[in-house]
Copies of this chain bind each other. A is one copy, B any other.
Amino acid sequence: MNVTGHTRRQPSIRDVATAAGVSHQTVSRVINNHPSVKSATRERVNRAIEELGFRRSATALALASGRNRSVTVLTANTTHHGYASVLQGVEEAARKAAYAVGISVLESADEQTVSAAVQRAGDSVGGLIVIAYDPAGVAALAAADPDVPVVGVVETPSQEPPHDRPWVWTDDRRAAYEATGHLLSLGHRSVHYVAIPSGTHRVSARTAGWQQALEDAGAAVPEVVHEGWGPQSGYAAGSRLARDPDVTAVLCGNDDLAIGVMRALHEAGRSVPGDVSVVGFDDAPHSAFVTPSLTTVRLDFSGLGRSAFDLLHGLLATSTPVQYHSAAVPELVVRESSAPPRHP
């Protein structure tokens, strides 16, 4: 029972040591479960710890040992479903390993911002997890101090400089390939693609998979529609696509985009999936409940976050610079928004 009443300094290991009649080092040994402490002593120390309400200062621990039980996630956005889920996965895994997790958002991709963010993050942290699905993230991955352990959550694995780090990924290329194949197999002559902003200079994995599927099927490859992340971007894209009667199937870079596209088609008087089929990406929770419910590709983002952490954890613990990579398998979820074209 601690009934001190008013604010006072947290007790340190020396306070505990005095209370238990041992040296501070013995206390240190006890809190670290060092084997060579007589159990009687250990018990005495533990009692003192209990009574004083001692808690080891994470700050001092970090300073003295160099080890820093914390990771921070660098990301462009915390509100989009995919990003938020990765973050959730990281946090979950980190919590289990008794790591603290920090978060730092990249407001833009310009070098100034990115390097400032990377520096601030690297300053106080054991390791970094960079969500590099977008330009800002990719820039951050490249800008990260080579001395701090970094794991990238990337779209396209690559051995080249910006990605010369351990990474985790989902096979977006294959996912896009399958989603496109699904639409083609329903009888659509071609599939349009509304892309999310890409992180790489080359075509993104999703774009590549979509294109490959069209080519393999001998279908025409329409021009990619480049848009932003949110439903309003999808709406803008959908408004344009709605004017083209040749458009019968649209694949979207994420579910919000798809919802915007569906809305625009709806307002233009084109029914989904009657006139146009729409397929999303990510399987956000609400995607199953909108009308028409959205055919989409489910990606295990929180699993991705967990493995990103595990990978980083291993890196920090063993300091072995192995490049272990992990991939999750995407899954196509067919719902109401995709169907055979009306006039095959």
Q: Using a CB–CB distance below 8 Å, which chain A residues touch chain B?
A: 7, 10, 55-60, 62-63, 68, 70, 72, 77-79, 81, 84-85, 87-88, 91-92, 95, 98, 100-105, 107, 117, 119-121, 123-124, 146-147, 230-232, 234-235, 256, 259-260, 262-263, 266, 285-286, 288-291, 293
Closest-by-CB residue of B relative to A116 is: B95
Instruction: State which of B95, B146, B290 has its C-beta within 8 Å of the C-beta of A290.
Output: B290
Q: Which of B63, B81, B259 has a CB less than 8 Å from the CB of A60?
A: B63
List, sorted by A's number, 21 A–B pairs whose CB atoms are closer than 8 Å: A55-B119, A56-B123, A57-B124, A59-B59, A59-B68, A63-B63, A79-B84, A87-B103, A88-B105, A91-B104, A95-B120, A98-B120, A100-B102, A231-B285, A231-B288, A231-B289, A232-B288, A235-B289, A259-B290, A260-B289, A262-B291
CA distance A81 to B68 in the complex (A): 31
The residue in A87, A286, A290 that gathers the most chain B C-beta atoms within 10 A of its C-beta is: A286
CB within 8 A of A146: which of B7, B230, B234, B256? B7
- Residues of chain B within 8 A of A146, CB atoms compared: 7
- Complex: A291 Cα to B22 Cα, angstroms: 71
Tell me, in angstroms, the Cα distance from A290 to B261 when the chains sit together.
10
Question: Contacts A95-B120, A101-B102, A231-B286 given; 16 further ones with Cβ under 8 A?
Answer: A10-B147, A56-B123, A57-B63, A58-B124, A59-B59, A63-B63, A77-B88, A78-B87, A79-B88, A87-B103, A91-B105, A231-B285, A235-B289, A290-B290, A290-B291, A291-B291
Name the contact of A105 in the complex, choosing from B85, B95, B119 (C-beta under 8 A): B95
Question: What is the chain B residue whose CB lies nearest that of A284?
Answer: B286
Question: How near does chain B come to A304, taking the closest CB pair, in angstroms?
Answer: 14
In the bound complex, residues from chain B placing their C-beta under 8 Å from that of A290 are 259, 263, 286, 290-291
Instruction: Among A78, A102, A104, A107, find the residue whose CB has the most chain B CB atoms closer than 10 A.
Output: A78
> In the bound complex, what is the Cα–Cα distance between A105 and B107 (angstroms)?
24
B234 & A256 in contact (Cβ 8 Å cutoff):
no
Task: Return chain B residues, CB-CB under 8 Å to A289.
Answer: 231-232, 234-235, 259-260, 262-263
B101-A104 in contact (CB<8A): yes
**Closest-CB distance, A232 to chain B (whole angstroms):** 8
Bound Cα distance from A59 to B103, whole angstroms: 17
Partner of A58, one of B87, B98, B123, B288: B123
Residues of chain B within 8 A of A92, CB atoms compared: 105
